[in-house]
Amino acid sequence: MRKFLLTVTLLIGATAAHAEKLGGQQVATLLSQGPIAFEAGSVGIFRSDGTFEFKHRSSSEKGTFRVFSNGNVEILDTRTGKKIVFYFDKRPQDAKPALIYKSGTSVNGKRYPMK
């Protein structure tokens, strides 16, 4: 019985920490609500015409973006030609979603929570 309770407790704990990836419609709604500020200091602006601007502490990106039905977002920096893919997820314990880079950066897989 003790093993059973321990197993159930561990499973519940693991489930509570599991992040849920936002779908395409959820991401489109999120991006349309105005500037998105991140805890790391960056700010993203996504416009209804398909253009974006990311301002970081020491750099910035401008270009176009697309939201896919699976929740992935692809941005193309028109200045550098660099293509970056990211998505948003939300963990039950977090008040707001986080951006996770998927490809195109040196920080792929890293979470950037929203403020």
What pLDDT digit, counting tens, does each position of 12-21 carry? 444 446 889 9
CATH of region 20-113, choose from 1.10.10, 2.60.40, 2.60.120, 2.40.128: 2.40.128
Identify the pLDDT of residue 17: 62
Top-confidence residue, 11 or 105: 105
Identify the pLDDT of residue 5: 42
DSSP string of 5-73, one letter each residue: HHHHHHHHHHHHT--EE--HHHHHHHHHTS-EEBTTS-EEEE-TTSEEEEE-SS-EEEEEEEE-TTS-E
5 CB neighbour count, 10 Å cutoff = 9
User: pLDDT (tens digit, 9 = 90+) per residue, 38-84?
Assistant: 999 999 999 999 999 999 999 999 999 999 999 999 999 999 999 99
Alpha-carbon gap, residue 97 to 87, rounded angstroms: 10
**pTM confidence score:** 0.82
Rounding to the nearest 10 degrees, give the CA dihedral for residues 68, 113, 33, 70.
Answer: 10
Cβ-contact 87, 103 below 8 angstroms: no
What is the residue whose two structure tokens read 């502490």?
57
Whole-Å CA distances, 111 to 27, 36, 79, 95, 108 = 16, 15, 25, 14, 9
